[in-house]
């Protein structure tokens, strides 16, 4: 079995070789597909990450939420507690580089724990069964396991080159319900690859 460490090394090298233009173009397709999913249409309270330049971008998702009246929550780091929590994000809010240079609201308005309908999560690598590999700190898995996100429909965003045969998982790792790339939607329930007809 390929180790988490070796997958991380490979994926970091692959991401470093990508161009910002290529990431933006793939991200546009990914976000269009996400917004066509029935789970997205039904969700009223959505958690969306603020993307770093090397990640699948989420700006269009944020704009769509504001346009349609969905409430947006984003991860932000609580330094004193050494963990991520959820903060509200509204149009015009300032964003800064937070812990590990991850974007977050400059002045977080922490959300009272409430059930989130859908969460969009980043990762270094994913597999077709919803396996997700992060950077190794476990912060996102702890956030996903929290009361607000535990029952949410979980979507991982990735470029197709981030898909691997199998992500090693342990009892603390949280699986995605679906992974969306610029080429396909991988749903955990069926463990199959479904082409998105509009983006072939």
What's the pLDDT score for residue 159? 97
C-alpha closest to that of 156 among 191, 120, 128: 120
What's the pLDDT score for residue 154? 97
Report the domain count for the chain: 1
How many CA within 13 A on the CB side of residue 40? 18
Tell me whether strands 132-133 and 125-126 are parallel, antiparallel or unpaired: antiparallel
Is 17 within a domain? Answer: yes
Is 114 within a domain? Answer: yes
Kindly tell me the number of DSSP H helices and DSSP E strands found in the chain. 5, 13
Q: Distance between CA atoms of 19 and 28, rounded to whole angstroms?
A: 14
Is 200 within a domain? Answer: no
Helix/strand/coil for 89: coil
Q: Report the CATH number that the domain containing residue 73 is assigned in CATH.
A: 3.40.50.10420
C-alpha closest to that of 74 among 151, 173, 126, 149: 149
Q: List the domain range (segments joined by +) for residue 177.
A: 4-192
Is 163 within a domain? Answer: yes
What's the pLDDT score for residue 198? 53
Is 107 within a domain? Answer: yes
Is 32 within a domain? Answer: yes
Cβ-based neighbours of 163, under 8 Å, separated by 6 or more: 125, 126, 127, 128, 179, 181, 186
Question: Residue 4 is encoded by which pair of tokens?
Answer: 């988490």
Site of tokens 């590990």: 100
CB atoms within 10 A of CB 28: 15
Is 197 within a domain? Answer: no
Is 199 within a domain? Answer: no
Residue pLDDT, tens place only, 101-133: 899 999 999 997 778 999 999 999 999 999 999
C-alpha closest to that of 134 among 97, 108, 102, 111: 102
Question: Residue 40 is encoded by which pair of tokens?
Answer: 């997205």
What's the pLDDT score for residue 75? 95
What's the pLDDT score for residue 114? 78
Global confidence as pTM: 0.91
Q: Distance between CA atoms of 83 and 168, rounded to whole angstroms?
A: 23
Name the stretches of the chain with pLDDT < 50. Answer: 191-192, 197, 199-200
């Amino acid at each position: 079995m390929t180790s988490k460490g070796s997958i991380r090394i490979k994926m970091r090298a692959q991401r470093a070789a990508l161009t910002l233009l290529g990431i933006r173009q793939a991200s546009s397709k990914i976000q269009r597909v996400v917004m066509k999913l029935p789970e997205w249409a039904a969700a009223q309270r959505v958690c969306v990450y603020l993307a770093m330049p090397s990640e699948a971008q989420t700006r269009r998702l944020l704009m769509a939420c504001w346009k349609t009246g969905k409430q947006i929550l984003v991860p932000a780091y609580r330094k004193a507690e050494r963990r991520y929590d959820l903060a509200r994000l509204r149009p015009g809010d300032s964003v800064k580089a937070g812990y590990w240079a991850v974007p977050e609201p400059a002045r977080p308005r922490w959300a009272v724990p409430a059930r989130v309908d859908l969460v969009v999560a980043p990762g270094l690598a994913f597999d077709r069964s919803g396996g997700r590999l992060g950077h190794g700190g476990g912060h996102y898995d702890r956030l996903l396991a929290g009361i607000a996100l535990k029952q949410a429909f979980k979507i991982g965003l990735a470029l197709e080159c981030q898909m691997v045969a199998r992500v090693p998982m342990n009892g603390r790792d949280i699986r995605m319900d679906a992974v969306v790339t610029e080429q396909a939607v991988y749903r955990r329930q069926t463990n199959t690859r479904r082409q998105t007809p509009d983006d072939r």
